[in-house]
Structure 1
């Protein structure tokens, strides 16, 4: 299996700083590369991160504020320049179709990219792959915004010792996985007898929003949560007014929802010391905590079952 990891391309909010580019996040998930919220400068950040444009297989926009979408023209034009051969679905709030059209055709270029618009109109599934489903939920922001959640279904992990004891080997292993029960040398063997539950992995992406039920639904039980934390709690009134989370609010959701790794990002330029976000979040969240930096890579945590018993055969 190829890597499952988050490549952080930018971590600023409304205004970039010398150390922080506008938003941009690439989720590598097996053969997929989901690009979330490409803000201004994303094309260059991809280059600095060593990510080719061909690695992008899907684009997801939460909303149409500039720090979340102004990099789209450069990304699309670069993918055309590189003649990326595969189709690239693009998800965005349907109410912003006019803005997407402007961004897609922001300047003259030779457009050969198969960019397939798939606007998001309501909560629920928006796409599916061989072993995952992408869901969206409407957030609470002054403009229409959606968060995203990638879900791998639960499965089962085969147990080598149990398989050997049951006399199941070779092609019969695959047949047992498909059919659930087989005859092995006159003995009935059920899948449950030679395997153990293997929880699917989950990822959530929550950008500009006030605290709301949708944030909790997106974050529920995920292995890796990327959450905006524009403000510190001392400015909670401003956060509420402008439709954002504080670091403490994001961490509280993560703690309540059983998140394993929390990635804080989308920091206001008013704060100079990122460790203040860490301290505020750590006071309420005991899991793995990452205060994101540009060009950082964050692995999706291994499944708990894998950590206990090692990788599957």
Structure 2
């Protein structure tokens, strides 16, 4: 299960309905926070994400993306957190992020490490997934992040194994699904490709932060199951988008289309559109054939496997007897 919770969807100025930028992602129990605008800790309490995140990925140092860090760090200390926290930011951000961690002379009660990342790198490397960085275009040093899962094992064809190849149920099934050649008691040698299909793609969730539409996002979001893209302005304010290094909803949709993304979430909505935000959604729908939505604060989205009918097994090995 990947669950994305939109904690803050406003542009630089919050509104009554929308808080500054923050997004929580839970991947099979591994929890991450992307950006941490003012009041993020309260949004986390309000929308029930909990505080079990282990990594905070910061796209850039503008206040609406980082001013929630001091309060969140202090609250975690007051609640006796012991688990370490890693904070990742763009080039040149380490000193400023450390200052935010220690704001007002506060030293956290738990280990906090700060890492500067560079575009085109891997901020977090796990066996089952990576969090990759990519270049974005804003009026300061900035990065986007892509959580990219490794391919899953192909489906095990139990019917072929049992009925056509007469392989007795047991440990041989698991070995074949793990890619091992098996010799049966009758001397036959069975290769994995005889009973295991091709690898199945994992999931990809991409978060741009504030940015102009750029080719690097297209590359990072190729085939993405969910692209969360800056959509600060309507087309009627396209000049303002270019001046402030943001994107319009239509531009975000064009990026999603070029990337072949499945779903597009529009975020970082300018406060000038309070009460008429759905115009952004309509503009994006005209430019993108996939699913478009404009989340409200607190909205949750689950990201299924591309082959959703297989989501239940997740590529696990077949039962052995």
Q: Supply the distance in 1 between the matched residues of 2:202 and 2:40 (Cα, whole angstroms).
A: 30
User: Could you list the runs of 5+ residues in structure 1 that have no partner in the other structure?
Assistant: none
Q: 1:227-286 CA distances to partner (integer Å, 9 max, x unpaired)?
A: 110011111111111101110000111112110111111000011312101100110112
For 1:31, the equivalent position in structure 2 comes to 29
Q: CA deviation at 1:80?
A: 2.1
In the alignment of these two chains, the number of paired residues is 308
Q: Supply the distance in 2 between the matched residues of 1:124 and 1:64 (Cα, whole angstroms).
A: 19
Task: Confirm or deny that 1:113 pairs with 2:110.
Answer: yes
Moved more, 62-71 or 190-199: 190-199
Cα distance, 1:234–1:171 mapped onto 2, change above 3 Å: same
Task: Confirm or deny that 1:209 pairs with 2:211.
Answer: yes
Cα RMSD (Å):
1.8
Q: Kindly indicate whether the alpha-carbon contact (under 8 Å) linking 1:32 and 1:58 is maintained by their aligned counterparts in 2.
A: no
2:48 to 41, 47, 50: 50
For 1:174, the equivalent position in structure 2 comes to 174
Q: Supply the distance in 2 between the matched residues of 1:194 and 1:235 (Cα, whole angstroms).
A: 56
For 1:61, the equivalent position in structure 2 comes to 58
For 1:195, the equivalent position in structure 2 comes to 196
Task: Confirm or deny that 1:82 pairs with 2:73.
Answer: no
For 2:134, the equivalent position in structure 1 comes to 137
Cα distance, 1:196–1:242 mapped onto 2, change above 3 Å: same
- TM-score for the superposition, normalised by structure 2: 0.90
Task: Confirm or deny that 1:311 pairs with 2:309.
Answer: no
Q: CA deviation at 1:295?
A: 0.6
Query: Which entry has the higher C-alpha Rg, 1 or 2?
Result: 2
Q: Supply the distance in 1 between the matched residues of 2:72 and 2:135 (Cα, whole angstroms).
A: 25
- TM-score for the superposition, normalised by structure 1: 0.92
2:160 to 162, 173, 178: 162
Task: Confirm or deny that 1:276 pairs with 2:279.
Answer: yes
Q: 1:159-193 CA distances to partner (integer Å, 9 max, x unpaired)?
A: 33234334253433332233432223433222222
1:294 to 290, 297, 316: 297
Cα distance, 1:178–1:104 mapped onto 2, change above 3 Å: same
Q: Supply the distance in 1 between the matched residues of 2:170 and 2:228 (Cα, whole angstroms).
A: 41
